[in-house]
Amino acid sequence: MTTARVMQPGAEAAQAYGSSAGGGGGQVANLGDILERVLDKGLVIAGDIQVNLLDIELLTIKLRLVIASLETAREVGIDWWERDPWLSSKAFDRAADGRDLEQENEQLRERVKELESGRSSREIPRTGRKSRAT
Amino acid sequence: MQPNGIWVYAITERVDLTPLAQIRGVGGRGVRTVAAAGLTAVVEDVGLAEFGEEALRRNLEDLDWLEAAARAHHGVIDAVAQQGPLVPMRLATVYSDDARIAAVLTERGADFRSALRRITGRMEWGVKAYADRQPEASDDSAVTAGASRPGGGAGAAYLQRRRNQLTAQKNARRETLASAEMIHAALSGYAAETRVHTPQAPQLTGIKAPMILNAAYLLDSARGGEFAAAVTALAEQHPALRLELTGPWPPYSFAGTGGEGGLT
């Protein structure tokens, strides 16, 4: 579904495209987008009041932002603001079940090994059934 | 009377304050201007009790305060941007008096002017891509393949199925990243300049699907419609990705005078 996001009066409607109905919507610019721009972009000139958003304060703000919206610090993806490559696969790894699946796979492998060695006392090769089936 | 600081929103060549009369800034007051060297800074007088160094440090850690300040800062910049090109300042740029601001305008006049030239007649648009679809389609075939193999235990079949699943996921991941690169390349063709930003965390976007592209495009104002149409077309060509277009924004991502978006 298309979700209109009008950022400015008189401006063309900004839209979210795609299959999912999610994506917020609403008539004001998303807070995350505004914060990203006013905290991270924009011209930096040294004011007389020295609050350096580039240093530790900025990280603290962002960390707290994430924590505030999360409630459980455990789940914080603490490296999302780092300057890692823009198409970092980390984004995927953090998502949903990536890491869990790896772990589950490992556990399953162990379990299968146990079960099958109990019946046939043969170890399953790491490449799986394929090598024996052919 | 409490001591004041001066909060700077943006630098432009000239601004008409009349349409800005109703705008409240971060301190709740109206904005005014400081002019020097043919440039104008849009500013607001702010009390140091709230905007002094110590207070700012504390307040910036307060999410409610931060949100209000960010929205107010953006609100002023957005309103000024309706009038013409401007260089937006980062949040919390505070000077002690007008003379200091005039000095900065004078000293860095050439930088500001060149930045203004680059963004004249242009606005910033943002495009984000989310990897919306998780690869589940290969599940059934994986199960069948595993089960039909002779001589395997149920556990081994299950293990094989999981392995296939992982492989399918990896392939889908690669395809998704390639799609994002193609989309960025295609959209860059419309832009005078582009910036690729760090993807936002799901906790910040409120969207579970991982963001794999977060880019800004500086477009000639007349190309907005064309660009939006291109985004729509690309969304249709890449159904595994959800694209989100925002804008037009004041040129936050292109405010710098150098290549990397900042005066140092």
A61's CB contacts (< 8 A; 6+ apart) are A39, A53, B60, B61, B66
* Cβ within 8 Å, pair B245-A15: yes
Helix (H, G, I), strand (E, B) or coil at B40: strand
Number of DSSP helices (H) and strands (E) in chain B, helices first: 9, 9
B146 to chain A, closest Cα gap in Å: 8
Residues B51-61 pLDDT 10s? 988 888 888 87
Residue B114 has pLDDT above 80, yes or no: yes
pLDDT (0 to 100) of residue B260: 41
Q: Identify the closest residue of chain A to B99 by CA–CA distance.
A: A48
When pLDDT is averaged across residues B161-185 and rounded to a whole number, the result is 87
Identify which has the larger pLDDT, B143 or B157.
B157
For the entire predicted model, the pTM comes to 0.70
ipTM of the complex: 0.81
Contact B126, B216 (CB under 8 A): yes
Chain A residues with CB under 8 Å of B62 CB are: none
* Cβ within 8 Å, pair A47-B92: yes
Residues A86-132 pLDDT 10s? 334 444 444 444 455 566 667 777 777 777 776 544 444 444 344 34
pLDDT (0 to 100) of residue A65: 53
Residues B218-258 pLDDT 10s? 999 999 999 999 999 999 999 989 999 999 999 999 987 54
Q: How confident is the model at residue B193 (pLDDT cuts 50, 70, 90)?
A: very high
* Share above pLDDT 70 across residues of chain B, in percent, rounded to a whole number: 88
Residue B23 has pLDDT above 80, yes or no: yes
Q: Which of A38, A39, A56, A112 to mutate to test the interface with B (most CBs of B within 10 A)?
A: A38
Q: How confident is the model at residue A51 (pLDDT cuts 50, 70, 90)?
A: low
Chain A residues with CB under 8 Å of B92 CB are: 47, 49, 51, 53
pLDDT (0 to 100) of residue A125: 45
DSSP string covering B186-241: HHHTT-SEEEEPPPPPHHHH--SSPEEEEEEEEEEGGGHHHHHHHHHHHHHH-TTE
pLDDT (0 to 100) of residue A129: 41
Q: CB contact, 8 Å: B63 with chain A?
A: yes
Q: How confident is the model at residue A18 (pLDDT cuts 50, 70, 90)?
A: very low
| Alpha carbon distance B14, B3 (integer Å) | 28
DSSP string covering A11-57: SPPEEEESS-S-S---SS--HHHHHIIIIISSB----SS---TTTHH
Residues A57-82 pLDDT 10s? 444 555 555 444 433 333 333 333 33
Of A24, A37, A105, the CB nearest to B252: A37
Contact B252, A38 (CB under 8 A): yes
Q: CB contact, 8 Å: B39 with chain A?
A: no
B17 to chain A, closest Cα gap in Å: 18
Q: How confident is the model at residue B150 (pLDDT cuts 50, 70, 90)?
A: low
Q: How confident is the model at residue B187 (pLDDT cuts 50, 70, 90)?
A: very high
* Cβ within 8 Å, pair B244-A43: no
Residue B217 has pLDDT above 80, yes or no: yes
Chain A residues with CB under 8 Å of B212 CB are: 87, 91-92
Q: Which of A37, A108, A120 to mutate to test the interface with B (most CBs of B within 10 A)?
A: A37
When pLDDT is averaged across residues B85-111 and rounded to a whole number, the result is 93
Contacts of the segment B73-78: beta carbons below 8 A, 24+ positions apart? B73/A38, B73/B9, B73/B25, B73/B26, B74/A29, B74/A34, B74/A37, B74/A38, B75/B23, B75/B24, B75/B25, B76/B9, B76/B10, B76/B20, B76/B23, B76/B25, B76/B31, B76/B42, B76/B44, B77/B9, B77/B10, B77/B250, B78/A8, B78/B250
| Residue contacts between A and B (CB atoms, under 8 Å) | 271
Count, residues in chain B: 264
Chain B residues with CB under 8 Å of A95 CB are: 131, 202, 208-210
B76 to chain A, closest Cα gap in Å: 12
Chain A residues with CB under 8 Å of B244 CB are: 15-18, 23
A129 to chain B, closest Cα gap in Å: 7
* Cβ within 8 Å, pair B153-A50: no
HSE of B256, CA atoms in CB hemisphere, 13 A: 15
pLDDT (0 to 100) of residue B1: 54
Cα radius of gyration (chain A): 24
Of A22, A86, A119, the CB nearest to B198: A86
